[in-house]
Structure 1
Amino acid sequence: MSRRKYVILLLGVFTVCMALTLPKLVKPGTTVPSFGGQPRSQQTPEIINGQDTTTTIHVALSMSDAEFIYWSKLNDEFNARHPEIHVELMNYPQAEAYPEWIRQSQVGSPIDIILMDNTMIREFAVTGYLSPVDDLYAGDTLADQLEALTDSLKWNGSLWGVPVDSDPLFVVWQDELLRKAGLDKPPVSWTTLLTVIETLKSNNPALQLIDLNPMDGRHWTAWLGVFGGNAKDASNMTVLSDQAQQQLRFLAEQDVKLSVQHTAGELNSWVERLKKQELLSAVFSWSFYNGLPDTARKQLAIADSASSLAWSGGRSFVLTAQSKEQEAAKEWMSAMTLPDMQSARYTELGKLPARKSVYQSGFEWEYSASRPPNWLLDVLDQPLFTPDPDWSARWNRWSDLWKGLEASKPLGLKEIDNLIRAWNGAQKSGAKGAAGNL
């Protein structure tokens, strides 16, 4: 063989070897240039006997752009650690998520996992759109879950979701005003509150009892469930009791200026009014409370009794019945709900973790924005109600009832009486489709 032919042969062998080995030198999840000159993220599939063995799963989310960026970073890290699994995230607008997930469940879309509000899960489970995830609670995992967050995930002897976090609503109180009324903590009974109001209003007739979002059914449920004996009834969404009706009418009488117009931007004005002792209480989400300046937070008190909505605002991963890659999907869900992951998300997003163990290192007396308070275990680690198959439908009717208020009108006794009659009438008749008549 001539020298020239020998050199050509060596070059050919070298080229073939480089073509076969170069892809293996690029780590999964790294950035490589595309043909267009712009960087792109490459997920290199595992090749065995010439076959692509990478499993692709799709996760549906519904959240703000800022939170989606955070979850995308977590997912990129997972993809880099698991080259055999490629996870794609999809973010749906909040107003479109629920009907779109229903539609896709009916037609059999490729979605494997949904990060779903706890209030939706029973409906999806009962209609056959989900697969149970009991095997993800093996060992000590179930014992580490908070009861208030897993209750709404139970149906037919199985668990249909894995809790991720919670951003519950709480009624917060102006601490100095409570002290002026002779209390060292928020009232836990209805009769005590009536005494507090009578005492405070004798010196300040313009004092407002509470501020909340009148068009949000969750806010009303938080108000109804804050006093002893009402929590379970409020959570079950049953017929309004005499005390519940009295609470609603009393609120309309006290807060005759309460307007249905309410925006997120008004939250800061709430805080200022609380600081000035013009407002006794308000309904806040935990993440909002957690983000307040220390000076404002020190003037507020939260009752350490169970809130009827301790579980609401919670989100869980659910596994769709149509998923063809359930094992890979469960591996991703398990990785994303580990205690360390939940602790880091609390620091970043302010949403409460779903694992008891994350609270055990939390503060007890001194406040820390980076760790959840361990006194919340008393609120979140107790069952509040037993879900039934019609609960989700009742919740939707309750939400629609308050959304139907006219934004241009103040909320008074007449409106409250109409709402009470509409709700109790629908509940007593048992009409599942009564939402439009409320």
Structure 2
Amino acid sequence: MRRGISIAAAVTVVALTASACGGSDDEASSGGSKDPKDISGTITYWDTSDAATEAPTYKALIGKFEATYPKIKVDYQNVPFTDVEQKFKSAAKSGKGAPDVVRTDVGLMAEYASLGYIAPLDGTRALKDTADFQSVPLNTTKYKGKTYGVPSVTDTLGLLYNKKLLKKAGIARPPATWDEFIADAKTVKRRTGAYGTYLNPDSYFLLPLLYSNGADLADPSAKKITVNDAAAVKALTVAKKINDEASMKVDFANAYQNMQAAFKNGKVAMLVQGPWSVGDDLSGTAFKGDEGNLGFAPVPAGAGGRAQAPTGGHNLTVYQGSRNLDASYLFTRFMTSTQSQIAIAKGTGTLPTRKSAYTGEITADPKIAGFQPIVEHTARARVALPQVGSLFTPLAQNYVKILQGDVSVKGGLDATADKFKDLLPGYSIG
């Protein structure tokens, strides 16, 4: 699920002046006793952005950083997103080969912090003007009262829809609740022949249903596993209904690819999806040459009356064992400044985390304009547990069994809770 844009757009980054990306006076006021111009050393940066479509933008910014601070050199390394977690944990644990700065998925923050692999950044020059950050991505940097990262890019799940198909079906606006979603999906099928939706059976895409029905995976404050409570059962019952009554038949072996193909080619009217998919969506017959046909809306609300979806994106984190902390903090600050975020948004199409980066030029991108209010009003951080990433595997396994009818909703969630108990020592169920 990578994001992409023309590499040619990245060329605009080269035109940025050094002062626009954060000059010495600005940096000198951001914490730390040493003058930024006197900081020296070589730092390694692991970047997980798409090597072909996004990395050129980051490399151009690094060039500007080195020009601004000539005593600091950056060893840029592009590490595949799918490999970085295990690679970083292995290097940090052994104390050999870990980068000074790493682009970290927001879902890994609690785990890295709990293991002592990343440095707390409060009071360092890495953090500046925190009030300018959107609260949602900033919340993903926190663990046990400390700040362990600086928000770089953000995203969430929303409802993408084919405007023409909804209009043809006589539907005036996208559904605001899951009940409306199911009803509209049926209406689309009846009146247009296209399917209303394609349910993604991945557990991450289940979170909007859980959240909007007042459910979550666990409650750290009470040390309780909640994935099988009454609210979660209600959420999964709705998911099962969507699968059985509103969705195109799901190919569980290739669900994501088939879901995307069906939507972008006009065979499906609505998808719960993220901004990373938009480039692919616009390449299909339903939207190519007709980008205005793609609509953006929040995910539907549930019984709890709220529309909520998980916060995604990446933070910049600093390795606790770095021998060049001052340079690492300065680099992190530079790469997350307003002007750097503007350059990143222009070059990659990803959403900034600073309010001041949402200039008219940036919001002219329909994708960014469409998802900005969705992030602000519906995104929420995932439960801050070191084991949160591991919880998705048993949830996904049992979610598929529920959708396929192999187990009941309650039975599948009870089995999930039992697996959670092994992963969350000291937690009780219910």
Match of 1:262 in 2: 254
Cα displacement (A) at 1:56: 1.3
Count of residues in correspondence between the two structures: 366
| 1:193–1:169 distance in 2 versus 1, CA, 3 Å | closer
Residue 73 of structure 1, aligned match among 47, 50, 60? 60
Match of 1:247 in 2: 238
| 1:102–1:58 distance in 2 versus 1, CA, 3 Å | same
8 Å Cα contact 1:170-1:283 kept in structure 2: yes
What is the DSSP-based 3-state SS (H/G/I as helix, E as strand, rest coil) of the residue aligned with 1:233?
Answer: coil
Match of 1:124 in 2: 112
Match of 2:213 in 1: 230
Amino acid at match of 2:261: S
Match of 1:289 in 2: 278
Residue 115 of structure 1, aligned match among 93, 103, 115? 103
| 1:198–1:72 distance in 2 versus 1, CA, 3 Å | closer
8 Å Cα contact 2:166-2:172 kept in structure 1: yes
8 Å Cα contact 1:128-1:321 kept in structure 2: yes
* Partners of 1:378 and 1:280 in 2: CA distance: 22
8 Å Cα contact 1:258-1:411 kept in structure 2: no
Normalising by structure 2, report the TM-score.
0.72
1:361-400 equivalence runs, <5 A: 361=360, 368=365, 372-373=368-369, 376-381=371-376, 391-399=385-393
What are the superposed Cα offsets for residues 307-339 of structure 1, whole Å, 9 maximum, x if unpaired?
644521x10101111012211111111111111
| 1:159–1:221 distance in 2 versus 1, CA, 3 Å | same
Cα displacement (A) at 1:130: 1.4
What are the superposed Cα offsets for residues 12-42 of structure 1, whole Å, 9 maximum, x if unpaired?
xxxxxxxxxxxxxxxxxxxxxxxxxxxxxxx
* Partners of 1:198 and 1:283 in 2: CA distance: 16
8 Å Cα contact 2:108-2:389 kept in structure 1: no
Normalising by structure 1, report the TM-score.
0.71
Amino acid at match of 2:86: P
* Partners of 1:120 and 1:273 in 2: CA distance: 34
In structure 1, list runs of 5 or more residues that go unmatched.
Answer: 1-51, 434-438
The percent of aligned pairs where both chains have the same amino acid is 21
* Partners of 2:233 and 2:86 in 1: CA distance: 35
| 1:257–1:139 distance in 2 versus 1, CA, 3 Å | closer
- 1:188 counterpart = 2:185: no
What are the superposed Cα offsets for residues 150-172 of structure 1, whole Å, 9 maximum, x if unpaired?
22211122111001112433221
8 Å Cα contact 2:127-2:150 kept in structure 1: no
- 1:326 counterpart = 2:325: yes
In structure 2, list runs of 5 or more residues that go unmatched.
Answer: 1-37, 220-224, 300-305, 426-430
* Partners of 1:72 and 1:353 in 2: CA distance: 18
| 1:362–1:311 distance in 2 versus 1, CA, 3 Å | farther
* Partners of 1:232 and 1:119 in 2: CA distance: 18
Match of 1:355 in 2: 354
* Partners of 1:347 and 1:184 in 2: CA distance: 33
Match of 1:211 in 2: 198
* Partners of 2:243 and 2:127 in 1: CA distance: 50
| 1:140–1:211 distance in 2 versus 1, CA, 3 Å | same
1:76-87 equivalence runs, <5 A: 76-87=63-74
Cα displacement (A) at 1:260: 1.7
1:19-30 equivalence runs, <5 A: none
* Partners of 2:290 and 2:214 in 1: CA distance: 28
1:44-59 equivalence runs, <5 A: 54-59=40-45
Amino acid at match of 1:288: S
Match of 1:42 in 2: none
* Partners of 1:322 and 1:160 in 2: CA distance: 14
Match of 1:49 in 2: none
| 1:209–1:296 distance in 2 versus 1, CA, 3 Å | same
* Partners of 1:136 and 1:378 in 2: CA distance: 31
What are the superposed Cα offsets for residues 257-304 of structure 1, whole Å, 9 maximum, x if unpaired?
210233776576334443xxx322123331332562574432232224
| 1:53–1:150 distance in 2 versus 1, CA, 3 Å | closer
Larger Rg: 1
Cα displacement (A) at 1:90: 2.0
| 1:149–1:137 distance in 2 versus 1, CA, 3 Å | farther
- 1:280 counterpart = 2:269: yes
